[in-house]
Structure 1
Amino acid sequence: MRYRRFGKTNLLLSVFSLGTMRYLASEENARQTVYQAVLQGVNHLETARGYGKSEQYLGAAIKAGLPKTRSQLHITTKIAPTLDADNMQRCIDESLTRLGLDYLDCLAIHGINTWEHLDLIQQPGYMQAVQQAVADGRVRHLGFSTHAPLEIILAAINTDLFEFVNLHYYYFFQRNVAAIALAAQKDMGVFIISPADKGGLLYTPPPKLQALCQPFSPLELNYRFLLSDPRITTLSVGAANATELVVPLSISDRTEPLTPQEIAVMQCLETTQENTLGSDRCSQCNACLPCPEKINIPEVLRLRNLAVAYDMTEYGKYRYGMFENAGHWFPGMKANRCTECGDCLPRCPQQLDIPTLLQDTHSRLNGRERRRLWG
């Protein structure tokens, strides 16, 4: 296991962190998962107030005894923005009680996803509640998690209120690269959310993608893409059980720069996408926005890019099914809401036939509706 400095917090975190949203089959399953992660070198355990019994189960695992002492572990929980300072104080205390701790190494404001969230957390009363928790030692470091569009993430980083950020960024989703750069410039810790699942359902890749990534697995290649970037501190492993720790932790010492062979495979992936999609390939420039019908056109067409180029249709259905079902965590209407108004067409530098591509994406990916695991 390698360890990296978590920005200005100066905490040394393992390059893989245990995310605890999915280990909820039972308290015993959670205990075994946490124990095995810590035994193999993980020293950062991350939970959230909104993850069902996750805080309670993590607290029980810590109480039962782990291979590291409390001072050797770094615990993060996340609490959603709230309108009331007293409520924030109460939420912090409740989380500490469930975890059985007298302090949190890190507290993340959970889901700064909209401009309204960003305005809220900058209100004096709100920050006073959080800063009081820092002053009295209940919280040591403050950060935020986000599923927001890039411009909101950049604005949140630029408030200079935070020491770290949890965000989405993967080989197959590089739109937030500017946020990675800005966070590094401001010496913030960078925590990557769900690289295996949200990064492409890479535990169960389609055969075409597996073949294109040889001699590596798609999951290994994505991990290496992230671990080779020194601006990134740690990657979440949202293991449902101890068995799911095996693959990521087997490469937890692979933080060196990308090898020529790895770079060649990534170049092959890019070439395949260009050749397969041809003139229908969306470059993800975002010039088509805003859409009058609130369709997240770049994200819809990103999912189409991946489905057509790499047969990542199941991943596309998984993410596409969250439109209209996950609120601000995954905003946007489905592509069949397009009225063919044509507003986007003159803005597209590639001159894509966007309405036709939206309808094609809906036909390919509109399967079962999905919701976030936790509200």
Structure 2
Amino acid sequence: MRYRRYGRTDLNLSVFSLGTMRALTDEETFRQTFQRAIASGINHIETANGYGASEDYLGRALQTVDSDVRARLTVTTKIPPTPDAAAFERQLTRSLQRLQTDTIDCVALHGINTWEHLHWALAYNLPRLAAARADGRVRHVGFSTHAPLDVVLAAIASDAFAFVELHYYLLFQRQAEAIARAWERDLGIFIISPADKGGQLFFPSEALRAVCAPSAPLTLNYRFLLSDPRITTLSCGPATPVELDLPLLVADADGPLDHAEQTAIARLDAQLDAKLGSDRCRQCYQCLPCPESIHIPEVLRLRNLAVGCDLQAFGTYRYGMFERAGHWFPGRRGDRCTDCGDCLPRCPERLDIPALLRDAHNRLSGPRRRRLWE
């Protein structure tokens, strides 16, 4: 296991963190997963007050380790931003009680996903967290985000946070500028859900397996992220202890990408070009805003992956969340297009966006979904 400095917190975290969103089948499985993780050198555990019984389970699990081990662990919990400062204070108190601790190492404002959330965080929640830091209940404050890039950049530029948790993967690099700005301002950088949101890479298609060979797709994604020294830690969210096997295989492989890995990544890009041809969306986002609030780039990214990498199941899984997950996954489905043509002159690739949106809907529409922990 390798360890890296978590930005201005000066904490040294393992390059893999134990995320607890999925480890909620039962408390005994949670305890076994927790024990295997810390025995393997993972020293950062992340939970949230919205993850069911996760804080309770973690609080009890922490009581089972001796004081020396506990002193080496860093615990992060997440609390959503709210304009109700008193409610936020009550939730912080509840998290302390559930975790059975007087001090939480890191508190992240959970889901600064809109401009309104950022305003709530700065105006109402950060003063409470400043008081909690002053009296010793909280050590470090950061934020998690599923927001558009401009909101993430503004949150980073506020200099109000010591770390950021965000989405950034081999198959989704929209937040590259946020990574650069966070690094410049010495924020710890925590990558959320590289296995699941990164493409459900624990269930890769045969086409993706072939193009990523000799690496497994998930391994290549982990290596893409670990090779970037700006990134502190990656979340692995195992539901059972055995799901730690793959991340632990590369937990000490944090050097530069080797020739075979670089070749596989170049081959992946070439395959997307070959399969999609002139229909490939390059994710410039110039088509937004859409008058019908369709998240055109994300709909077309999911189509890119379905057509180019045969990630049909992943595309259907994510597409089914449109109009069901609120600010966590904003935007409307492709079939909401009215052929207004507003996006067409703004697309540098001259894509027939309305036709591609309909095609994406036909390919990807399936069961409607909510977020996993709901």
Q: Which TM-score band (shorter chain)?
A: over 0.9
- More deviation, 79-88/228-237: 79-88
Describe the SS at the equivalent of 1:132. Answer: helix
Query: What letter matches 1:218 in structure 2?
Result: P
- Residue 130 of structure 1 is matched in structure 2 by 129
- Determine if the alignment matches structure 1 residue 83 to structure 2 residue 79: no
Query: What letter matches 2:87 in structure 1?
Result: N
TM superposition shift of 1:321: 0.5
Query: What letter matches 1:161 in structure 2?
Result: A
Describe the SS at the equivalent of 1:175. Answer: coil
- Determine if the alignment matches structure 1 residue 213 to structure 2 residue 228: no
- Residue 350 of structure 1 is matched in structure 2 by 349
* Separation in 2, partners of 1:255, 1:69: 24
Alignment of 1:25-104 (within 5 A): 25-65=25-65, 69-104=69-104
Would you say how many aligned residue pairs link Structure 1 and Structure 2? 374
* Separation in 2, partners of 1:303, 1:76: 31
TM superposition shift of 1:67: 9.3
- Residue 370 of structure 2 is matched in structure 1 by 371
- Residue 140 of structure 1 is matched in structure 2 by 139
CA contact (8 A) 1:167 1:191 kept: yes
TM superposition shift of 1:373: 2.1
TM superposition shift of 1:70: 1.9
TM superposition shift of 1:91: 1.0
Q: TM-score, normalised by structure 1?
A: 0.98
Q: Aligned pair in 2 of structure 1 residues 245, 22: CA closer, same or farther (>3 Å)?
A: same
* Separation in 2, partners of 1:205, 1:241: 19
Query: What letter matches 2:274 in structure 1?
Result: N
Describe the SS at the equivalent of 1:50. Answer: coil
Query: What letter matches 1:175 in structure 2?
Result: R
TM superposition shift of 1:69: 2.1
Q: Aligned pair in 2 of structure 1 residues 337, 69: CA closer, same or farther (>3 Å)?
A: same
* Separation in 1, partners of 2:34, 2:185: 32
* Separation in 1, partners of 2:68, 2:298: 41
- Residue 22 of structure 2 is matched in structure 1 by 22
CA contact (8 A) 1:24 1:54 kept: yes
CA contact (8 A) 2:79 2:110 kept: yes
CA contact (8 A) 1:48 1:54 kept: yes
- Residue 324 of structure 1 is matched in structure 2 by 323
- Residue 157 of structure 1 is matched in structure 2 by 156
Alignment of 1:261-276 (within 5 A): 261-276=260-275
Query: What letter matches 1:244 in structure 2?
Result: E
* Separation in 2, partners of 1:167, 1:269: 23
Alignment of 1:211-250 (within 5 A): 211-250=210-249
Query: What letter matches 1:360 in structure 2?
Result: D
Describe the SS at the equivalent of 2:63. Answer: helix
TM superposition shift of 1:25: 1.0
Identical counterparts, % of pairs: 59
Alignment of 1:189-204 (within 5 A): 189-204=188-203
After superposition, what is the alpha-carbon deviation per residue over 1:119-171, rounded to whole angstroms, capped at 9, x for unaligned? 11121x43221111010010000000000010100011011100000000000
TM superposition shift of 1:68: 5.5
Query: What letter matches 1:339 in structure 2?
Result: T
* Separation in 1, partners of 2:288, 2:153: 18
CA contact (8 A) 2:214 2:260 kept: no
**Structure 1 segments of 4+ aligned residues over 3 angstroms from their partners:** none
Query: What letter matches 1:119 in structure 2?
Result: H
* Separation in 2, partners of 1:66, 1:99: 16
* Separation in 2, partners of 1:156, 1:197: 25
Describe the SS at the equivalent of 2:106. Answer: strand
* Separation in 2, partners of 1:67, 1:40: 18
CA contact (8 A) 1:291 1:344 kept: yes
- Give structure 2 stretches of 5+ with no counterpart: none
* Separation in 2, partners of 1:104, 1:352: 49
* Separation in 1, partners of 2:372, 2:277: 36
CA contact (8 A) 1:35 1:66 kept: no
- Residue 288 of structure 1 is matched in structure 2 by 287
